[in-house]
Amino acid sequence: MIKQAVLIYVGAYASGDQEGISVYEMDMTTGELTFSSLAGGVANPSFLALHPSGRFLYAVNELGQPGSAVSAFAVDAETGALTFLNKQDAHGTAACYISVNDAGTHAYISNYSSGTAAVYPIQADGSLDAASDVVQHAGSGPNAGRQKGPHAHSINLAPDNRFAFVADLGIDKLMIYDLTDPGTFQPHPPAEIAPGSGPRHFTFHPNGQYAYLINEMGNTIIAFAYDADAGALTELQTVPTLPADFAGDNTTADIHVAPSGKFLYGSNRGHNSIVVYALDAATGQLTYVAHTSTEGQTPRNFAIDPTGTFLLVANQDSDNIVVFRIDATTGQLTATGHAVTLSKPVCVKFGVGE
């Protein structure tokens, strides 16, 4: 049975005394969002991850050095309200992404400006221990303005949690690390991406056989076949995120596959749209469906609810989150008319177990 209401957590760019992580309830019939609580005093919680138990939430604090950090919170089982537990140094600058393994034993972060990634053991009470390993990327790309050095932009785990994939915008690589020991990054051959593409976010198909990368600078999505035993990616197809007649400035942001595995979505900042592709689960190939306006400016992160009914977009520069309904047959998006206003939202996460 689908719950009548689910919890939504929103990270935002905010100074320490402003809005931090907002908690909303979403009506699963209409998509309406209702404010529930706020964890204030959390500086720039730009990306969030929930513990698989649903009892804890983790946020990167995207700041300079010193200051960039990763914070842990306890989640109230009834209300979803957050209580600060502790924080650890990010071991880099501009921490921008966090993932938690399925066992709930380790959290993994990427630091954009410094091109580093770090792993933190999670204690029984949900707090974070000091980093057990840190890796530093090296290299550059052809875009002198944006690729003078490494920029680790996201860190995702394989479905079996055996490998970590770090999309590095600065060096046009998907760095891959063996996590046989989940607290240590063991080097593994990376996936080379076309020069100047600027890899940003990465996601797997629910069947685990395919993976998809969105490139911030190239405005493209790459489909890969995934060999789980070897931790290897084979490129299948590259498709555009923009209409052919768009001539303005654009950078991509986020990418997700619907829980059904039938559709893939990517966000465009500049065109201010979500691109929709149909997905062939037998081949991993993508077929264009549509572009939908995000009804706001600079769509950053977006999230699809676990039932695949709604898609929520965080429009950073228009200060709003807009709720869309997903057509289960076509994958197309229709605005529900429901939205909320808050300062510079950049990350949306659905509560675990909802």
pLDDT of residue 15: 63
Higher pLDDT, 78 or 16: 78
Identify the H or E element spanning 145: none
Burial class (CB in 10 A: 0-12, 13-18, 19+), 54: middle
d(CA 157, CA 222): 18
What's the structural domain count of the chain? 1
> Does residue 19 have a pLDDT over 70?
no
Residue 17 reports pLDDT greater than 70? no
Q: How far is Cα 29 from Cα 143, in angstroms, rounded to an integer?
A: 46
**Structure-model confidence comparison of residues 294 and 64, the more confident one:** 294
Q: What is the pLDDT of residue 352?
A: 80
In the predicted model, is pLDDT for residue 289 greater than 80? yes
176-192 mean pLDDT: 98
Write out the residue range of the structural domain in which residue 138 sits: 5-244+337-350
Residue 137 domain-assigned? yes
pLDDT of residue 348: 98
pLDDT band for position 299 (50/70/90)? very high
% of the chain with per-residue pLDDT over 90: 93
Write the pLDDT tens digit of every residue in 90-107: 999 999 999 999 999 999
Are 175 and 229 in contact, with CB atoms under 8 Å apart? no
Report the phi/psi class of residue 196: left, alpha or beta, with left for phi > 0 and alpha for psi in -120 to 50.
left
Is 305 inside any structural domain? no
Mean pLDDT, rounded, for 45-59: 97
Domain membership of residue 317 (yes or no) is: no
Q: Is the pLDDT of residue 172 over 60?
A: yes
Residues 193-225 have pLDDT tens digits of 999 999 999 999 999 999 999 999 999 999 999
Q: Would residue 205 count as lying in a domain?
A: yes
CATH of residue 27's domain is 2.130.10.10
278 domain-assigned: no
Q: How far apart are CA 99 and CA 121, in angstroms?
A: 12
Q: What is the chain's mean pLDDT, rounded?
A: 95
Q: Is residue 274 part of a domain?
A: no
74 vs 80: CA distance, rounded Å: 9
Question: CA torsion angle for 115, 167, 62, 102 (degrees, to 10)?
Answer: -120
Q: What is the mean pLDDT of residues 117-127?
A: 98
Tell me the average pLDDT across 284-292. 98
Residue 354: its pLDDT value, please?
46
In a domain, 98, yes or no: yes
